[in-house]
Amino acid sequence: MTSTALVTGASRGLGAAIARRLAPDHHLYLGGRSSQSLASITAELEDSTPWPVDLTDHDAVATAARGIDSLDVLVHNAGVAALGTIEESSIDDWRAQYEGNVLAVVSLTKELLPALRRVGGHVVLINSGAGLRVNPGWGAYAASKFALRAFGDALRQEEPSLRVTSVHPGRIDTDMQRAIVEHEGDVYDGSMFLQADTVALAVRSAIDTPADAHPTEIVLKPRK
């Protein structure tokens, strides 16, 4: 029987890389903002279903989740970042990152708990190095990622039939990283960062860990 997986933020970057790693033996639900954004990755991965939904629209999430009866793997990859010092950042910046990086994850997980429990599924939270430490100018983003880590810790204890893995990668060579480096006023050099497929392979390794072990946390740092 084919396993099933839902990957949010699957249209590009790390999400697409994770989807490709899971594709050989999973039916994939590919999460994204629109069918158009998912068209390319859906066409590339044969056994996949586009799953376009605004994850901050909790009613829409509830409706979309009703079509999933059984789920082996849930990868929360979608997220947002708006950098700035505490003085510079607005309350709306903080609210948007908490909505996108925490409440969207809580909402979707709650809706899919019955499907995950049915098969003793695995929840993977793509967190960040910012979920372990805070740097100047990253306060709002780090606060949301610390909260995401706490959510994973609570879910792991409350749902003993599930495995819950928090993945904390350093900077990854993606379009999102380009925007961050531009904000910082630096010249972009993707070779200084983790490759998306490297992180995707770590996610796949966690999922493939035999059932007698629980990979609770993975930390990846660029070697350069």
What are residue 166's DSSP bridge partners? 125, 217
Q: State mean pLDDT over 116-124.
A: 98
- Chosen CATH of 3-220 out of 3.40.640.10, 3.40.50.2300, 1.10.10.10, 3.40.50.720: 3.40.50.720
pLDDT of 184 above 80 = no
Spatial distance between the Cα atoms of 32 and 123, rounded to a whole number of angstroms:
18
pLDDT of 171 above 90 = no
Q: Give yes or no for a contact between 98 and 52, defined as CB atoms under 8 angstroms apart.
A: no
pLDDT of 130 above 90 = yes
Q: State mean pLDDT over 112-119.
A: 98
* Residue 181: band (very low, low, confident or very high) from pLDDT cuts 50, 70, 90: confident
Specify the pTM.
Answer: 0.94
Q: Give yes or no for a contact between 148 and 100, defined as CB atoms under 8 angstroms apart.
A: no
Average pLDDT, the chain: 94
Q: Which residue has better confidence, 184 or 32?
A: 32
Distance of CA 61 to the CA centre of its chain: 16
Closest CA to 108 of 36, 219, 29: 29
Q: Cβ–Cβ contacts within 10 Å for residue 50, how many? A: 21
Spatial distance between the Cα atoms of 216 and 224, rounded to a whole number of angstroms:
26
